[in-house]
A and B are shown apart, each in its own frame.
Chain A
Amino acid sequence: MTRTTVRNTAIIFLVAAIAAGTGTLAAQTLNSGLRGATPLNDEGPASPMPQTRNTAERETRNYPEQPPVIPHSIDGYQIDINGNKCLSCHARARTAESQAPMVSITHFMDRDGQFLASVSPRRFFCTECHVPQNVVTPPVSNDFVDIDTLLSRASPGGRR
């Protein structure tokens, strides 16, 4: 066998192997739970838009530093250089009328820890941290436990 024949045979095998590989990949249905039964090379149907959780009831924070989630719909709320719709209820002066919780005092601080008269520019865009919630079952389960639960266990930090 000449050197050229060996190379040609090798190329033919390689091509066949690649073709077989892509063929099986394309035919395979990968059921990961997130993308459903749609093959990897197809785009599945879009899932329906979930509804916003609109109870207006406060939700427990998972840890003290967690920005509280927004328990209501904020569709069409404008937050930009011209105005901040959130503040028309959550600003200090507006809370008596709206009965909404006041923006935290930490939001009045500038980066040097000085308190300003109103919400600091770096805290102006509420939805950077605070987000509304949807009525959905999470596609991926989560076994997070908060610190109180962890501390109340017989062997702290042990079995999860």
Chain B
Amino acid sequence: MTATDKPEARPGALRRVWNFALELLDVLLRPSSIFGLGILVLAGFVAGVIFWGGFNTALELTNSEKFCTSCHEMRDNVFAELKTTIHFSNRSGVRASCPDCHVPHNWTDKIARKMQASKEVWGHLFGYIDNRDKFTDKRLELALHEWARFKANDSLECRNCHSAQSMDITKQSPRAAVAHERYLFTGEKTCIDCHKGIAHHLPDMRGVPGWQ
């Protein structure tokens, strides 16, 4: 056997993968000669239910306070700060946990947000904010992202619970009633314009509109 014969004896790895793909496609396109059509449809349906259900279950698992606080970046910084606020404990016992404000409830928007959040996994793995100093240095940037999101969707996540339609301003303090009547009901401002820093500490507010 000479050196020139070698390539003919065994094709390259890429070629073999390509050949396998062609064979697989051939099998997938050929009608089944073993399983009945009904069995195939039923199996497809069952597999679909399992995959879809599994997907949504996994999605919901990543949408819980427990999952969010499993990273120390969240647990020691933003979650620790949330604990002192009214969204964590209050007279009526309703708690807004992380995804209630930070993940859109609408499915398409939720998937889009989850894809964005893959950057956060990257940041966790490479320790972008793995101590308090790094976190506070980056707090303004992170806060600006969230404020921009709330501003763009007209504070949708706030309004999932606090709707202007069901807000009884006669039950509010005079100050709140006046402000909501003048700016919220007229649509001149949205929730996040005034209610910044209600669930987490504020970043350096110099240069933020409405702040000194």
Q: How far is the CB of B186 from chain A (nearest CB, A)?
A: 13
Instruction: Among B86, B174, B203, B212, point to the contact of A84 (Cβ < 8 A).
Output: B212
Q: Are A82 and B174 in contact (CB under 8 A)?
A: no
Q: How far is the CB of A13 from chain B (nearest CB, A)?
A: 57
**B61 interface residue (CB < 8 Å to A):** no
Name the residue among B175, B178, B179 with the largest chain A CB count within 10 angstroms. B175
Q: Judge whether B212 and A118 touch: CB under 8 Å.
A: yes
Tally of A-B residue pairs with Cβ under 8 A? 46
Chain A residues with CB under 8 A of B85 = 76
The closest CB in chain B to the CB of A124 belongs to B212
Given contacts A75-B86, A76-B86, contact A55 B174 (CB under 8 A): yes
B198, A83: Cβ atoms closer than 8 Å: no
Q: Number of residues in A with C-beta < 8 Å to the partner? A: 22
Q: Is the CB of B174 within 8 A of A56?
A: yes
Q: Which of B86, B197, B212 contacts A119 (CB 8 A)?
A: B212
CB-contacts of B55-86 with A (<8 A)? 85-86
Nearest-CB residue, chain B, relative to A90: B212
Min CB–CB distance B144 → chain A (angstroms): 14
Bound CA span A84–B85, Å: 17
Give A72's nearest chain B residue, CB to CB: B175
Q: Does B205 contact A (CB under 8 A)?
A: yes
Interchain CB contact under 8 A, B202 and A87: no
Q: Does A94 contact B (CB under 8 A)?
A: yes
For the complex, what is the distance from the CA of A78 to the CA of B202, rounded to whole Å?
A: 8
| Contact code string B170-212 (vs A, CB < 8 Å = 1, else 0) | 0001110011000000000000001001100111110010111
A142 surroundings in chain B (CB, below 8 A)? none
State whether A56 touches B173 (Cβ < 8 A).
yes
CA distance A105 to B37 in the complex (A): 85
In the complex, chain A residues whose CB is within 8 Å of the CB of B198: 76
Q: Judging by beta carbons under 8 Å apart, are B212 and A88 in contact?
A: yes
Known A-B contacts A76-B198, A78-B202, A82-B202; the reply to A87 vs B212 at CB < 8 A is yes
Top 10 A-B pairs, shortest CB-CB distance: A83-B205, A56-B175, A87-B212, A56-B174, A54-B173, A83-B202, A82-B202, A82-B204, A91-B212, A78-B202
The 12 listed contacts between A and B (C-beta, < 8 Å) are A54-B174, A54-B175, A56-B173, A56-B175, A72-B175, A75-B86, A81-B204, A82-B205, A83-B197, A84-B212, A88-B194, A99-B178
